[in-house]
Amino acid sequence: MALLNILQYPDERLHTVAQSVTQFDDRIRTLVQDMAETMYEARGIGLAATQVNVHERVVVMDLSEERNELRVFINPVITARAGDTEYEEGCLSVPGIYETVHRSERITVEAYDEHGEKFILEADGLLAICVQHELDHLAGKVFVEYLSPLKQNRIKTKLKKRAREKM
């Protein structure tokens, strides 16, 4: 397994729309393992392949306290939505920034696991929020793009300043 580099907003590659996975092979299973290791190392709860500059429809997620309930979503599609909610979201590609985003309260998602087995998941609460957040990444959208242009510019400026200070 290998740690992957997580792209940082406003990197343009984060706006690349991911393509469907067509083969469930060792390459995909290795990608899933590497993404999981990267997510755990970064102390995240979800990671989309787009965030590691792989533009395929793959997401890993683990909301458990023990970090032992990895969920894999390949070619995920939200097939139903209900209700509205707000949640303060953060993102491994936008480190240290947390903002409130409006999302559907409940969703149904169809996806495949890393072995090509199809499943349907009904989700609410944090799981529903996380699935929607990660599927946005696969569509080339970062959560801060739900915010006003003023807030987006402030976040870009803050992150660019941080990047300069690290050099």
Instruction: Considering the candidates 105, 114, 134, 145, report the single residue annotated as catalytic.
Output: 134
Strands 94-112 and 118-124: antiparallel
- Yes or no: say if 142 and 93 are a contact pair by the CB < 8 Å rule: yes
Domain containing residue 137: CATH number: 3.90.45.10
16 belongs to a structural domain? yes
Residue 3 lies in a domain: no
Residue 127 predicted with pLDDT over 90: yes
Q: What is the count of structural domains for the chain?
A: 1
123 within some domain? yes
Report the pLDDT averaged over residues 42-64.
Answer: 98
Over residues 129-152, mean pLDDT: 96
Q: Would residue 7 count as lying in a domain?
A: no
Strand-pair partners of 46: 61
- What is the pLDDT confidence band of residue 166, given thresholds at 50, 70 and 90? confident
How far is it, in rounded angstroms, from Cα 25 to Cα 27?
5
Tell me: the pLDDT tens digits for 20-49? 999 999 999 999 999 999 999 999 999 999
117 catalytic? Reply is no
Is 114's pLDDT higher than 90? yes
Q: Please report, in range form, the residues annotated as the binding site.
A: 91, 133, 137
Does residue 4 lie in a domain region? no
* SS percent in the chain: helix, strand, coil, step 5: 35, 35, 30
**Is 135 within the bounds of a domain?**
yes
- Residue 2 within any structural domain of the chain: no
Task: Point out the annotated binding site for Fe cation.
Answer: 91, 133, 137
Q: Which domain covers residue 155, as residue numbers?
A: 12-166
Domain assignment present for 111: yes
